[in-house]
Amino acid sequence: MTRKTLKVALLQETHRGSRDANLDAIEAGLREAAAAGAELVLLQELHNGPYFCQRESVDEFDLAETIPGHSTARIGKLAEELKLVIVASLFEKRATGLYHNTAVVFDRSAAIAGKYRKMHIPDDPAFYEKFYFTPGDLGFEPIDTSVGRLGVLVCWDQWYPEAARLMALAGADLLLYPTAIGWDPNDAQDEKDRQREAWVTVQRGHAVANGLPLLSCNRTGYEADPSGVGAGIQFWGTSFVAGPQGEFLARAGTDARELLIVDVDMARSEHVRRIWPFLRDRRIDAYGDLLRRFRD
């Protein structure tokens, strides 16, 4: 990676009520980011609609779309017009009965530069993703772009150090996480605080352990459970950019739409990895048990 500084943008948004309304808001955000000089824009997870995984319903499969398709055509056209590298996040219909949670990358062009299918799929109250998504089958492969090799992962992947490490070992220059995570409104405030801080901390740890900048873009706003069973989710925003020692470079608020723009010093990874050579000191001869589910 030879470039010194990269201006990045994270578009933290709310659900606007429909796919087209959400894409209109995204277009406005992309234009604002481009006008501010951003070169790379990260969007939140499943940005085209509500976070539909609060319930299990076959009707929600109507939200899925092919890749390429309507949304990739519109976002790709903007990537080409605005000369942006864009990381989008879609509910992919690969075939009837086969769906993925898929990140799509555009490199200043209408053509798709690459995609990543979410590997770790949660199944928890209000996050019933295993009903909808088949685990990814593209592996942990960075996507080459004009601004560097992007180690794109998605939401639940962010809790797994193995995913970040494998992207780093494959030569990623940055780690990027489109995200949809929030609180149960019925939780006590101290529990909410612990959850949000854990989410931030684990990702900062990935930046530190791999000596890489990290971008995490979350949605914000309250979304009711359409089944009426749960209390809904208050998405906590807090999108942020961290440097290769986990330092905050920029951080959004919790409860409003925000376009976060910051310069990332891409030369710092070289310096940090020289003083903290974690990759050099890995004991790859002793890690065989990582391939076991649990050591009984």
Give catalytic status of residue 53 as yes or no: no
Give catalytic status of residue 13 as yes or no: no
Residue 26 lies in a domain: yes
CATH number of 37's domain = 3.60.110.10
Does the pTM exceed 0.95? Answer: yes
Please report the pLDDT score of residue 133 as a whole number. Answer: 98
| Helix and strand numbers, DSSP H then E, in the chain | 5, 17
Distance CA 128, CA 160 (A): 19
Which residues, given as ranges, of the chain have pLDDT below 50?
Answer: none
Residue 168 φ then ψ, to 5°? -65, -45
Q: Which residue is catalytic, options 45, 60, 223, 258?
A: 45
Q: Is the Cα dihedral 54, 60, 63, 66 positive or negative?
A: positive
Instruction: Verify cis geometry, omega within 30 degrees of 0, for the bond prior to 226.
Output: no
Q: How confident is the model over 95-146, as pLDDT tens digits?
A: 999 999 999 999 999 999 999 999 999 999 999 999 999 999 999 999 999 9
Please report the pLDDT score of residue 269 as a whole number. Answer: 97
What residues contact 99, with CB distance under 8 A and at least 6 apart?
A: 61, 64, 91, 92, 93, 132, 133, 134
Please report the pLDDT score of residue 3 as a whole number. Answer: 65
The count of other CB atoms within 10 Å of the CB of residue 6 is: 20
Q: Which residue is catalytic, options 13, 155, 217, 223?
A: 155
Instruction: Verify cis geometry, omega within 30 degrees of 0, for the bond prior to 68.
Output: yes
- Closest alpha carbon to 177 in 217, 209, 136, 149: 217
Q: How confident is the model over 224-248, as pLDDT tens digits?
A: 999 999 999 999 999 999 999 999 9
Q: Which residue is catalytic, options 118, 129, 217, 223?
A: 118
Residue 232 lies in a domain: yes
Which residue range(s) make up the domain with 24?
5-291
Q: Indicate the number of domains in the chain.
A: 1
Residue 296 lies in a domain: no
Give catalytic status of residue 39 as yes or no: no
Please report the pLDDT score of residue 219 as a whole number. Answer: 98
Please report the pLDDT score of residue 2 as a whole number. Answer: 57
